[in-house]
Structure 1
Amino acid sequence: MRYFLAALLALVLSGCDNNTPEPESAPGEATDMSAAVADIPATDWQNNADQTFQNGAAAWQQAMNDFEQNREQAQLDALREQLESWYAAFVDHYLLAASRACQLNQQELLNRMDTWPLYPGYLDALPEWPESGLISDPYLEMTRKSLRTQHGATDASEASLGFAALFVALNGTEETPKALPLLAGDDEIALRRREYLQLATEQLLTDAKLLSVEAPLDSQALKCGLEHTLARDARKASTDLEAEGLFIPATVREVNAERLLKGVRNMDQTALEAWAEKAPGIEEALAASKKEGPDALATWLNQP
């Protein structure tokens, strides 16, 4: 079983060259889907996931506006709380997003939405390197285009976009979150840091729209999405990252540990029933995963 999860992890990471340009297809375009086999209803699931994600984004954006108007500790605390809530909405429906990414051949786009482990010093200053990072670089134009170009420029863990990168910019890498002046100040770096939060948010919303389509799913896309979800679950427990300069934000670990597999088990019931007709045993594997964890799902995926 360890070999299976390791293989899944290697497969996902090998595809994480995240220097992805803005996709040319319009939101909702499903040119890579096979309509002949995509007959698992997912409209209600998609609408629910989209609404939850958009509500979280709206609350986060309002918190950013509040912080810009009144840059005090209470507003910063609220900002951090809203980012965690928005991220939880993303993780709750990760299976659907991963299945859409498989269906539309947009795995790199999904990876860009939440890249980890990552090199935190690539994006922002660290205590030991106070002038490191793209945010501190006055010669880097702070635009969505430049951030997309810098994302995964030479290594998949060079993250300039996505939720994990947002957590680094907002909270830092220490047990104690970044001090208020680092985000509330009027100096150039603090201004760029706040500008970064806005631009990274806009890119997340754009990327999410490209994975939202009103179309049925197929069994193979759901299996592929489940494989990526299990690989993500295994990756969240990665240790010994410091020697390589890599980092997984604490909130990323905690939210995925608490909600990722629960979100799989709570997938839309109509979609699950239709999937079970084409993939016998999935309902039993989901039920078994409550006690056995991801091993039950991995065993089902790995059956002949």
Structure 2
Amino acid sequence: MSKNKEESLHELMAGMKPRGKEPRNAGVLDSWIDHAEADFGIAASGRVRWLIASTVITAMLQQVVDDDNACRFSLKGGTLLQHVFGLASRATKDIDGIVRGDLDEFLELMDEQFVSRNWGPFEFARSEIEQIRVPGKSICPRRFVVTVSLRNKTWRKIKVEVSPDEGMAGSAQEPFAAPSLEGFGIPTPEKLVGMAMCYQAAQKIHAATDPHDPDKGYRNNRPRDLVDLVLIKQLSDSTGHPSKSDIKRAVIDTFEARAKEAVKADREPRVWPTKVVVYPHWANDYLAAAQAVDLRMSAEEAAEVVNAWLLELDGA
């Protein structure tokens, strides 16, 4: 098989013959992964290792459920986009998610899962939890590192960020098929759950259009979100999902929720409609992100495309 950016890594992994046995140690698993990546035409890319690790960690986090048996953790950010866009997405190294309900309670329940349950041959542990200071946020996100071990030997360490709910984003969930892990002797989750793509778009629109005025404490270092917005626009245009009307509703909800927090923090609230401004300091990060997904647009061209789209969304 050769690398095909139109072909999902999920599809490539689903075509593997099930191992029928667990890897006996981390070295064996790494050997199986190396062979698979070579067969897929993405040798030494780290994509398969990352996808396996992020899938099992997400599955463990989603064992924390509410009274209706609905998971409280929804995947978002770059990891979710890798599941949606496959090899056409830019690679990421972290797991981002949003949590419904009390964030501290979720973390306590998460710890119970890590202590009491394994996922196939994998065991889990986490580092100390740190708070991420975000200007204007009344409840700040948390960050920690999850260590995935196999037979008591560390296999991967993945940084995880969990954010508190805002507006209706945490309740707007979309299940999707997990990649098949059977070719590596690992149980495949029944499903994974992501934050609805309309809210993924909304949060990236808010981030990419943030003001940049360091003297006043405003910094916009989000050129990668501009690249992601072009991909989400292309997805919406080609499939109709998420629809423009759904994105607009999510955008309004996101802007209103964040504006309320900004007012409480005595900061200037953001308003919709808005537009992307390309800043000189974006140049290197934008170029790297665009090259990673083979997006042949300058930052200015991408901003022109996205800003025209934002006008369409406002009229939806």
State if a TM-score over 0.5 links the two structures.
Answer: no
Question: Would you tell me which structure has more helix in proportion to its own residues?
Answer: 1
Instruction: Give TM-score, length-normalised by structure 1.
Output: 0.29
**Larger relative contact order (CA 8 Å, sep ≥ 6):** 1
